Amino acid sequence: MAYKKTAIVSVYDKTGLLDLAKGLQENNVRILASGGTAKMIREAGFQVEDVSTITHAPEMLGGRVKTLHPAVHGGILARNLDSDEKDLQDQKIEKVDFVVCNLYPFKETVAKIGVTIPEAVEEIDIGGVTLLRAAAKNHSRVAILSDPKDYPQFLQELSADSNNEISQNLKNKLALKAFESTSDYDTAIADFFRKQYSENESQITLRYGANPHQKPAQAFISQPYDQLPFKVLSGSPGYINLLDALNSWPLVKELSGSLNLPAAASFKHVSPAGVAVGLPLNDVEKKIYFVSKIENINKSPLACAYARARGADRMSSFGDWIALSNVVDLPTAQIISTEVSDGVIAPGYEPEALALLQKKKNGKYCVLQIDPNYVPDALETRSVYGVSLQQKRNDAVITQSTFKEIVSQNKHLPEQAIIDLTVATISLKYTQSNSVCYAKNGMVIGLGAGQQSRIHCTRLAGDKADNWWFRQHPKVLAFQWAKGVKKPEKSNAIDLFVTGQIPTQEPEKQEYESKFSVVPEPLTEEERKEWLSKLNNVALSSDAFFPFPDNVYRAVRSGVKYIAAPSGSVMDKQVFGAADSFDLVYVENPFRLFHH
């Protein structure tokens, strides 16, 4: 019989196989098959030849070697070139036009409980992957079927063409599916053996994902590195811990590099609750940040940075993740040891500092050491609802020169304002959008994150900045606490006081008053207005343009003097005009800094 075309068929999943064999036979296609595939086709009464007919070599090694032969792959890889035709003629090899192949069920095997390495190894397909890759590589001539779902369309085209040709469009799509199949297969194999042979190096198993029911969960790296960029020195990080750690570390690294000052971040739910650089603390700041008992704190810029970052919004920072740009010293560790937090990431730890942190939570406190020289790939990929999204990593560099395009009439931008704008803007780069950030004294004092409306970001951040300022009011500094009141309880009571939400109904009223030995009198409206009027020279940065002047009006009420934001709104002139009406300095930021 003179066949029109030749197909090699080798499948584990035999769904639709007999319908395919019937269609191939009806179109006068020669079928070559191996092992169980050939047996099933033959027993159904269709014409089939063993692959050994062309290889002249038997299946061997328990079936592990069937199709790995020049007669097979020469026929698949041959192109319509004179040189290829000559090679085929010299070696007595015939072209293969169609390849039908799917792979051993590696994923299904390793998903079973208690699967052993030998059991997994047996499901690593060699010949099948080679068939897929060879046919897909030569898809300009060869059609590769790796999914039974594609059999009907393939047979339809095969029958519709008098020469049994398959359209190039379909061959292209089939080749892509084959490449994706081998990629997914190799990924599953690498994932299994990464867990077996590289645990705590390039892979760590997590207790669960974002929530307890989201299992399994892991952290791993598949780039050409031999290990994760961090080491676990204590505790066991969770999924959200690592999201916070791997967002907060680049923030403090970048901020420290930009200003040449130690930097710290207090992170919660993938956004900063506080960010600061290591400027000295005055006595009031030491008191409101609860670090008055830390000896010689101003001799440690890193400790000052974290005291500011943690102290900016103590309510939000409760149970935070900490990122520190420099090697952690003892004063910094002493602050951390007295606060409620989940863990810390830093490039290193002094021995005394590490020993103190490893005692926290009875040894369960999470301490990560990051490689400061690690540079992630330029492209970043994430999976959302089964769809992979990929983009270039946000490598925008924020330095003091970023703030040179001043569009307001007031052009005076002092050095401290540049520091504060740098802190605010780099913080936004790692904050869930929409976001607006207020900064003063080298620290974030108010941040509005993840709001759908820009003005709500500005209001939320402004309210937090106001609260930060009211915590420094003489009445707050004079609080007389009841014996045994803990820091979180003090923070909550202070927050109720400064926000004007002092409870008036039982039992909350009694709970509030029990924190004091002398219950303080609330601030009057006149006192609030007078104290807030003293807040000034605040810097504000926005991750995108202000669509309306209302953002400027709200910012001014919290002492904002300096604004940095991208332009691009149809209302830019009105926004700039509003800034000029208050004699603000308005800087056009060249970067939009959305982060999701």
Catalytic residue positions, numbered = 137, 269
CA pair distance 322, 317, nearest whole angstrom:
9
Residue with tokens 């939009």: 592
CA pair distance 586, 417, nearest whole angstrom:
12
Task: Give the contacts of 472 (CB within 8 A, at least 6 positions apart).
Answer: 284, 285, 288
Q: Token pair of 560, please?
A: 């904002």
Q: Token pair of 387, please?
A: 């769809």
What is the phi/psi pair of residue 511, to 5°?
A: -60, -45
Residue 440 DSSP label:
E
CA pair distance 584, 265, nearest whole angstrom:
28
Whether the Cβ atoms of residue 343 and residue 366 lie closer than 8 Å to each other: yes
Whether the Cβ atoms of residue 561 and residue 536 lie closer than 8 Å to each other: yes
CA pair distance 332, 357, nearest whole angstrom:
10
Identity of the residue numbered 152 = P
Whether the Cβ atoms of residue 394 and residue 417 lie closer than 8 Å to each other: no
Identity of the residue numbered 536 = N
Q: Token pair of 182, please?
A: 């081998």
Angle at which helix 17-26 crosses helix 151-160, to 10 degrees, equals 10
- Three-state DSSP at 145 gives strand
Q: Token pair of 420, please?
A: 């504060």
List 572's β-bridge partners, or say none: none
Q: Token pair of 374, please?
A: 């690690």
Residue 130 DSSP label:
H
Tally the C-alpha atoms within 13 A of residue 592's C-alpha that lie toward its C-beta. Answer: 10
- Three-state DSSP at 353 gives helix
Nearest of 65, 387, 108, 379 to residue 223 by alpha carbon = 379
Residue 148 DSSP label:
G
CA dihedral 488, 493, 497, 502 (to 10 degrees): 140
Residue with tokens 């926004």: 575
Q: Token pair of 141, please?
A: 């001539």
- Cis? peptide before 507, omega within 30° of 0: yes
Whether the Cβ atoms of residue 370 and residue 348 lie closer than 8 Å to each other: no
Q: What's the per-residue H, E or C state across 496-545?
A: HHHCCCCCCCCCHHHHHHCCEEECCCCCCHHHHHHHHCCCCCEEEEECCC
Residue 217: its H or E element:
strand 217-220
Nearest of 270, 336, 48, 23 to residue 151 by alpha carbon = 23
Nearest of 432, 438, 451 to residue 270 by alpha carbon = 432
Whether the Cβ atoms of residue 294 and residue 334 lie closer than 8 Å to each other: yes
- Three-state DSSP at 378 gives coil
Whether the Cβ atoms of residue 9 and residue 47 lie closer than 8 Å to each other: no
